[in-house]
Amino acid sequence: MKKVNLFAICIMACLLAGCEPKVTEQKPTVLTLDVTEVTTHSAQVSCNVVSDGGSPVIDRGVAYDIYPNPKATGTKCKAGTGTGKYTCSLTELQDNKRYYVRAYAKNEIGIQYGKEVSFTTIKEIFPPKVSTGGITNILLTSATISGLIINDGGADITECGIVYSTSENPTILNDKVLAEIVEEKTEVFRCELTGLQEQTTYFVRAYAINEKGIAYGEERTFNTKQSEIPVVTTVAVTHVYYASAIISGNITSDGGKDIIECGIVYSTHQNPTLSNNKVTNGRGIGNFSCQITGLQDNTTYYACAYAINEVGVAYGNQIKIETKKNIQEYVDLGLSVKWATCNVGANDYTEYGDYFAWGETQPKEIYDWSTYKYCDGSSSSLTKYNTESVYGLVDNKTQLTLSDDAAHVNWGGDWRMPTMEEVAELINNCDCDRIIIDEKNYCILSSSILSYQGK
């Protein structure tokens, strides 16, 4: 009985042993855990092989690429063999680029990948790159310098401009001029340097700043100009009378310094200077004219325009003036005054002569309040020869002073313009017969003594 039972037990044990299932090998199980320590060119990827699938893991690591679904047959970082946690250090990555990573593990059966994870490397920032451009508009105490930001270094430009010094290699610790920050890298910026010393060598560099640092362009040099005497030309002589003439001049350069005085010098001798006679006319660059008066009739004069700045005096070319011979005649009509036989500026009674504004001794092209000598641009702003306050300053002058008298200034001697009373006397005490000669209107004035033909 015992022997039978023991045999039965052995038979059953053998049957049970023969029915145990056979284990099937699989690919490993691997997890992509995390991406840390991301920099401009590197990152750390943590992974874990949780099962070898029944066959030893002979290779493991991280597959990565800039495209999704990276494979171990491509770019990868190997991390040994076996199961368990591991970390891969990805290096030589591109900055500011998105990468896709997957953990992988390989056994005899094949390769298995973990979940895909992506990350973006940090943008790499460099100091900007800037170029110093041209130097223009070099004057006594100023100049214009241009610059160009070639590259912003990957970050916004927070400041740019020009640094300058009388020593080499200027920096922002020296003098600087800020420029407006340009939006486009190819856009040129310009800075005007002012307050410089004349006739001095300056060193300049463009500069630009971003969060990474400061960059300087090439060093360039320039010399400020030296101030000089002005450049002036004697233009022309016009309206030559018996005792006066008008000389025009033109200042084309102030020499780098303000014009202190300008005008006309004249003399009966050649090459007149300030030690001779002069007439002034303001200051500043441009055209000007002066009327010289008190001349002798039938006399040769020489005149030059001149201009003065703090450096010195400059003279223009010499112009010759020959005043007319005073052959002006008068006629006695038996009145309180004698009358000229022609108008100022005319050679005889057949010519019109020149036109003058009241109180002015020079003829001009425009007769308007804006050009009148004795007002501030309007009929209500008179400064002389006014009897009513509504028209400006009241001085109650109704008779010209000799210096404002066109006849006296241009003809000299005792000649002067008639008063209103004298004109009224002429009209009231003479007969006037109007005639036409050569299509011109004339009137013949006659009195009991003499007659006068006037235009």
DSSP per-residue codes, 29-84:
EEEEEEEE---SS-EEEEEEEEE-TTS---EEEEEEESSSS--TTSSEEE--SSSE
Q: Give CA–CA dist 418/415, Å, rounded.
A: 9
Q: Give CA–CA dist 292/243, Å, rounded.
A: 8
Q: Which pLDDT belongs to residue 331?
A: 86
Integer CA distances (angstroms), 306 to 18, 265, 303, 315, 394, in order: 132, 7, 10, 4, 37
Task: Reply yes or no on whether the pLDDT at 110 is more than 90.
Answer: yes
Helix, strand, or coil here: 118? strand
Using one digit for the tens of pLDDT, what is the confidence trace for 173-200? 999 999 987 666 667 899 999 999 999 9
pTM of the model: 0.56
Using one digit for the tens of pLDDT, what is the confidence trace for 331-347? 888 889 999 888 898 88
Q: Which pLDDT belongs to residue 191?
A: 96
Task: Reply yes or no on whether the pLDDT at 428 is more than 50.
Answer: yes
Task: Reply yes or no on whether the pLDDT at 7 is more than 60.
Answer: no
Query: Between residues 28 and 328, which one has the greater pLDDT?
Result: 28
Q: How many Å from the N-terminal Cα to the C-terminal Cα in the chain?
A: 179
Work out the percent of the chain whose per-residue pLDDT is above 70.
Answer: 92
Using one digit for the tens of pLDDT, what is the confidence trace for 233-286? 999 999 999 999 999 999 999 998 899 999 999 999 999 999 999 999 977 899
Q: Give CA–CA dist 239/236, Å, rounded.
A: 10
Q: How many Cβ atoms sit within 10 Å of the Cβ of residue 420?
A: 9
Task: Reply yes or no on whether the pLDDT at 26 is more than 50.
Answer: yes
